[in-house]
Amino acid sequence: MEQPAGGATPADAAGDAVEVLDRPLPEGVRRRVVALVSDAFGGLTVTELPAQLRQYARFTPTRRAKFAGNAMAAALEGDPAFRRRIGERLKEAQPELAAALVAGSPPAAADPVDVAAAAYVLRPAGWVKLVAAAGEEAERAGAERADEEVRLELERLREELARARTQTKTDTERLRAELDAARKEADSLQRKLRSAANEVKRGEAALRRGKAESDALRAEAAAQVSAAESETRRLRTRLSEAEASVEAGRRAAREGRSVEDMRLRLLLDTVLEAAGGLRRELALPPSSMRPADSVDAVEPGRMSPKDIAARALSETDPALLDQLLALPQAHLIVDGYNVTKTGYPQMPLEKQRLRLLGGLSVLAAQTGAEMTCVFDGAELAAPVLLAPPRGVRVLFSKPGVTADEVIRQLARAEPPGRPVVVVSTDREVADGVAKAGARPVASVLLLKRLSRV
């Protein structure tokens, strides 16, 4: 960040000496000036701050110096009133240094950078020379530091060169020792190579002997294969003769079986004629019963669930349910949670199931009707450990299938004409089972009936 060049403004003519800084502030002086302004910044009220600096009023001095350095430097240069306020805070913080600068005799032992920064803020007579002197001092100090760094670097390089020479000497000696060892190892390998060559020659001689033996074995194997092929041809001939003999035996067996079949047919005809004669002798009439007559269903003219619906009973009268369950082979299907959440929703689900199933068990014993209770099992985290009560079938829907769909499947599975009663307040369930021929009733009807158990 560059510091604006110093110079007189119209406001300076009233109180500050008109002196011009002909070069940018040295970097060390600029940082020290920003630090002074940042420290004195917190002692001013918001109204005493320039407009562009008020947004940094709540910052800590460190953050203020980091984020508002350029803005503070510009305000210090362009706003004489702000610069005088900062100077007053500096006089309060460092009275001895400020008094010495105003008197024109800065302390000889003071840091030139501190002197230049204070002079830039207070603007006493000759402040430009103090700032320039601080810059020259900083440059000299930088040059001295650079010379010292070069000297230290040169010493470091000399030390590294000495270490490199020592290391090179050590490596050379080590490599010579390794070369001697390698030469000895090469001599040993040559001796081993000559020994291996001799072994190879002996191996080749053994290989030639093995090849001769292999040729002899091949010839013997070829003779054995030829003999085996001759034996195979002879066995195939004998096999063909055996197959022909077996086929002749099969033909003879088929002919003999045909004679036996003819005898069985003759015997069967004799038995049938004897049975017909026995029927005529006993004058037995033809059978009037058919398998369809054994199916239990409502015959024309008898009572059905729809006939009971036409009677003068209220839809919530428990007597209506008694009449429906009194029909032959009646089947009661119960939408479990629909009934329990209508009758006792405050109870836990487990206790709801146990209470409903206990009442249905008693009702089944009283009426003798088939009863099925369906609960929604899609949201269960684990299988329910429940022993179904006597006379009641308990079902839970599978994941992805609702209890309503299971109830509709049960209604559709029943044969036409069988009395099926479905207990559910759900209108969609009632309409679906009605299409399948079942009789829907409200949950409150079953609850009233169970209250009498």
CB 428 within 8 A of CB 404: yes
Q: Tokens for 154?
A: 């040169």
Which range has highest mean pLDDT (86-90, 138-142, 159-163)? 159-163
- pLDDT of res. 399: 84
Of 107, 125, 143, the domain-final residue: 125
The model's pLDDT over 296-343, given as tens digits with 9 standing for 90+, comes to: 333 433 444 555 544 546 677 888 888 999 888 899 999 999 999 999
Global pTM reads 0.35
- pLDDT of res. 423: 95
* DSSP per residue, 284-308: PPPP---GGGGS--PPTTS--HHHH
- pLDDT of res. 289: 46
The model's pLDDT over 65-116, given as tens digits with 9 standing for 90+, comes to: 777 777 777 777 777 887 888 778 877 777 777 777 777 677 766 777 777 7
- pLDDT of res. 343: 93
Give domain status of residue 338, yes or no: yes
Give domain status of residue 61, yes or no: yes
Tell me how far apart the alpha carbons of residues 214 and 49 are, in angstroms, rounded to a whole number.
Answer: 112
Has residue 255 got a pLDDT over 90? Answer: no
Give domain status of residue 109, yes or no: yes
Residue whose token pair is 């010579």: 176
CATH assignment of the domain containing 442: 3.40.50
232 or 79, higher pLDDT: 232
pLDDT range class, residue 21, cuts 50, 70, 90: low
Of 125, 155, 188, the domain-final residue: 125
pLDDT range class, residue 138, cuts 50, 70, 90: low
Tell me how far apart the alpha carbons of residues 352 and 216 are, in angstroms, rounded to a whole number.
Answer: 94
- pLDDT of res. 247: 80
Owning domain of residue 97? 12-125
Of 125, 159, 182, the domain-final residue: 125
Task: List all residues 6 or more positions away from 428 whose beta carbon is below 8 Å from its beta carbon.
Answer: 404
- pLDDT of res. 292: 39
Which range has highest mean pLDDT (114-118, 155-159, 275-279, 407-411)? 407-411
The model's pLDDT over 167-182, given as tens digits with 9 standing for 90+, comes to: 999 999 999 999 989 9
User: Could you give the number of structural domains in the chain?
Assistant: 2
- pLDDT of res. 438: 92
3-class DSSP state for residue 373? strand
